[in-house]
Amino acid sequence: MAADWSFARKPFWIFSHLFAAGVVVLFIFLGFWQLSRLDERRATNSLIADRSEAPALDLTGAPTGDDLDYRSVRAEVRFVEPDLARVANRSQGGVAGEYVVAMVELADGTAMAVNRGFVPVNADVDLDSVPSESTILTGWLRESVEADGWFAVDDTGEGRILPRFNTEAVAERWGEPLPAYYLQPGPDSTRAAASFPDPVPLPSLDDGPHLAYAVQWFIFATLGVGFYAALLRRFSRRTRIGGDPTQDPHSPAVVG
């Protein structure tokens, strides 16, 4: 005897079909969204690798241009303020802490902000141990970080604590305009292993979790289709033999 699918046309079940289809479409959308994020990450990784591994740009004045983020640079600088401000709520190596914002002067007298590196919360270190004379700094240019999203913390413009490394916010503390880029020194082989600040490394150039997340969402979509199809088939059999597909088959029958 053929299964009875007439129940599937009732209003309750039509709503159920639409809900199940919506959930499956959402899972598929999330899977493709993760794949698009994977493409974006690979493109960003390629850009970072190309710029950071290029021959170092000799920086003698304020950097200009729109494509200098992560560009490797070399500059002769003089530290004029070794600990101007801190960027709060940072982490490195699984440890919570802050970035130390310093100020340097380039060869032409231009002032620039520098991310001296990471310091753990409440670390008892000497943050003022910087060269008194001009020194060669090698590392990368980094672009000023802007507030992103509704939940981004606003900068009050007061105090030494910054929510993000924004050069305009640093300029407010410094009292003079600054370039839109800041300097991020690379690893220093002369620095003691246990000393701070610890230079901030470049981002990890791997694929991240996006591919695994995409596969996960596609599996959820496939399981959702299979589960719902099995559910409908079960109810079609109960309808065929005279049962009510909206009732629990294990509940006691009601005798009229």
pLDDT value at residue 228: 92
Question: Coil, strand, or helix at residue 113?
Answer: strand
pLDDT value at residue 115: 95
Cα 38 from Cα 42, distance rounded (Å): 6
Q: Which segments of the chain have a pLDDT < 70?
A: 1-2, 124-128, 149, 188-195, 239-256
Residue corresponding to tokens 């130390």: 100
pLDDT value at residue 251: 46
pLDDT value at residue 253: 44
pLDDT value at residue 195: 67
Q: Which two tokens stand for residue 4?
A: 């009875």
- pTM for the predicted model, two decimal places: 0.76
User: Which of 73, 62, 39, 45 lies closest to 113 in space, CA to CA?
Assistant: 62
Give kind and range of the element (H or E) at residue 181.
strand 181-185
* 112 bridge partner residues: 104
